[in-house]
Chain A
C-alpha cells in the first residue's frame, strides 16, 4: 500500500530486483498499462525511465561529475541524490517510479543507500535463484559456475571498472540471499513481493495485485491488453527488429525464454546443490524449497 502516514518518507516507488528476475517484463507491462495505446509500446521506451544506477542522473542531481569522484564518495552521495529526486520530481505529491538493482545496504557512513526519506514504497521482484543463475550467466556471457560464485559473493557489484567509466555507476548486489532479505525485511507493508514464477503461471492475478498495490487503474480489459503487449514473444520480436538498449554488450539477446524452471535442462546436480547450499534458507522462506528440502519449481 502507498501509505501517507509514515514520517520520514519520500515519493520514490522502487521497482527493485536482483538482475534477471522479471523487473523489465513488469516495466513493459507497466508502460503499456499507463500509456493504454492500441499498439505495443516500444521496447526501448520503457517506463520508468529513471534508473537508480544512471551516471547521468547522479551527475545532474549532484551538480558535479561522478567521474571525478571515487567509488566511496559516489556511494555516500547517492542517498542525497535520491532525496533530491524525490523532492524535486515528486513535489506535487506524485509517486516517482524508479528502477533499481542495488542491494539494500548501508554506505560507508552507516546510512541506508536507499534513503528512507526518499522512499514511498517498493515492488520487489524475486525469481528462483536456479533460474537466475542460468539467465544471468547468459546475460553476462560467463560460465554458470562463475555466475553461481558471483551470486554467493558478498562483494559482487554491477559496472565496476577501475580504469574506465561507463554509463552506469557501480551498483552493489551483494549475494542473492542478502539482496532478497535486505529488501524484503526493511519496508514492511510498503513492500510488495512479485515472484517471477507467479507472474508466469498466474499472470493476470499476480499483475493485478501489483496494479492494486501501486494504486494504478484496475481496469480488467486494460490490464489484459497491457499483458498482451508485454508478452515475451512481443518483446522478443521487437528486440530482434530494433535491438534492446538495456541488453548487456556481450549477450546475444535480452529477452530469452521468459519461462520458469528452465534450470532443469541446464544445471548439473552439483550446480543445483551449490546454489541450495548458498541460498537454501532464503529459498525456503520464499517457497522455492519445502521443509524437506525438495525443490518446488
Chain B
C-alpha cells in the first residue's frame, strides 16, 4: 500500500488512518491518545457537540470520545472505554479533520471530489442528496475519485484553487451500495447498528494537488426532470460558503474574514452549478448521464 499524505499532510498517529503510514520525517500533525478537558475555557462558539475558540476545537461525544484539535498540528483523543477504532476514526476523519484543516488555512468543502481530465470537480449538497453515491457511480464510469465527504482546498502561489487528495475511502449507505451493484458483505460498518459502510478505495494515481475546476451542488426536487443551472456572481460565493464543512465552526475559530476571502477568490476561477435531480426514483445512471454530458460542454 502506498503511503499517502491525506490533504498533503505528514501524519504521526496513534490511531491507524486508512492508507496512511506514520511519517519518518517531521510530522505536520501529531495524533495521540490522552486526556482531553470536558470544556474549553471561554469558547467563542458552543454548539450541541462542539466548542470552538480561535486556537482550539473540542468535540465531545458522550459514548464515543472527546477530541481536542489545537493550532492546526495536534489532535488529542480521549476515547470512552470499549469503543472500537472504527467509531473513533469516523468522527476523527470528518468534523475533527475539518477543524484541523480550517486551523491550517485549508478550506474544507463538504462533498465528494472526482477528477475530470486535469481538473477536480467537487459534488456538494446536503447530506442525503446522494453526493457520495454519485461520486462512486462516476468512479465506476472511469473518473478517478480524489476525496469523499471532506475536500480540502488550498490556494496555490499563483492564486489557483487546488484540491488536496483526501482519505482513500468512501462511506455509503446499504441502499446506495445495492444501487451501485456493490456487495456489502465483507465491508466494515461505520458503527454497529448503522447501515452505513466503509468502501476502501484503491491506491490513487492522484496524489498531487489537482486544480479545482468546478462545484456542482446536488439538490433534490419534486419534479421528474433533471436540470443543470449555472450559478453566477455573488451567488457562487454563497454556494461556496454554504458548502464549507460545518461552516459555523469558521466563526468560532475567528476565521470569518479569511474564509470569505478564500470563497471569493475561488469563486472567480471555478464554475459553480446547481444540479437538480428528482426525489424519486434516484436513477443513478440518468444522473451520471446528465452530469457527464455537462462535463463535456
Q: Are A164 and B48 in contact (CB under 8 A)?
A: no
Given contact pairs A164-B195, A167-B220, a sample of 13 additional A-B residue pairs in the complex whose CB atoms are under 8 Å apart: A55-B128, A59-B127, A60-B247, A62-B49, A63-B59, A63-B249, A64-B91, A67-B196, A163-B174, A164-B176, A166-B128, A167-B129, A243-B221
Q: Are A245 and B48 in contact (CB under 8 A)?
A: no
* Cβ-defined partner of A84 (8 Å) among B47, B129, B249, B279: B47
Q: Are A63 and B49 in contact (CB under 8 A)?
A: yes
Question: A279: CB under 8 A from chain B?
Answer: no
Question: B76: CB under 8 A from chain A?
Answer: no
Assembly CA distance A249 to B174 (angstroms): 21
Chain A residues within an 8 Å CB radius of B126? 55-56, 167
Give the 4 A-B residue pairs with the shortest CB-CB distance, closest first.
A63-B50, A164-B175, A249-B280, A80-B48
Beta-carbon contacts of A134-178 to B below 8 Å, as 1s and 0s? Answer: 000000000000000000000000000111111100000000000
Q: From A87, which residue of chain B is reached at the shortest CB distance? A: B46
Give the total of A residues in contact with B, Cβ under 8 Å: 32
Q: Are B127 and A55 in contact (CB under 8 A)?
A: yes
Question: A214: CB under 8 A from chain B?
Answer: no
Stretch at the interface among B8-16, B22-30, B186-194, B206-214: B186-194
Question: Closest approach, in angstroms, between the C-beta of A219 and any C-beta of chain B?
Answer: 34
Q: From A66, which residue of chain B is reached at the shortest CB distance? A: B127
Question: A213: CB under 8 A from chain B?
Answer: no
Chain A residues within an 8 Å CB radius of B222? 243-245, 247, 249
Query: DSSP majority for the B interface?
Result: mixed
Chain B residues within an 8 Å CB radius of A60? 246-248
Question: Closest approach, in angstroms, between the C-beta of A24 and any C-beta of chain B?
Answer: 14
State the A residues within 8 Å of B (CB). 55-56, 59-70, 73, 77, 80-81, 84, 161-167, 243-245, 247, 249-250
Chain A residues within an 8 Å CB radius of B247? 60
Question: B167: CB under 8 A from chain A?
Answer: no
Query: Which residues of B42-80 have CB atoms within 8 Å of chain A's CB atoms?
Result: 46-50, 59, 61, 63
Q: From A76, which residue of chain B is reached at the shortest CB distance? A: B62
Q: Are B190 and A68 in contact (CB under 8 A)?
A: yes
Assembly CA distance A68 to B171 (angstroms): 10
Q: List 10 A-B contacts (CB under 8 A).
A: A55-B128, A56-B127, A65-B95, A67-B127, A68-B194, A77-B48, A84-B47, A167-B127, A243-B221, A243-B222
Chain B residues within an 8 Å CB radius of A250? 280
Knowing A64-B91, A73-B63, say if A164 contacts B49 (CB, 8 Å).
no
Chain B residues within an 8 Å CB radius of A64? 49-50, 59, 61, 91, 94-95, 246
Chain A residues within an 8 Å CB radius of B48? 61-63, 77, 80-81, 84
Q: Are A65 and B248 in contact (CB under 8 A)?
A: no
Question: Closest approach, in angstroms, between the C-beta of A289 and any C-beta of chain B?
Answer: 36
Q: From A83, which residue of chain B is reached at the shortest CB distance? A: B48
Q: Are A68 and B91 in contact (CB under 8 A)?
A: yes
Query: Which residues of B161-178 have CB atoms within 8 Å of chain A's CB atoms?
Result: 173-176
Q: From A161, which residue of chain B is reached at the shortest CB distance? A: B175
Query: Which residues of B234-271 have CB atoms within 8 Å of chain A's CB atoms?
Result: 246-249
Question: Closest approach, in angstroms, between the C-beta of B197 and any C-beta of chain A?
Answer: 10
Assembly CA distance A55 to B94 (angstroms): 17
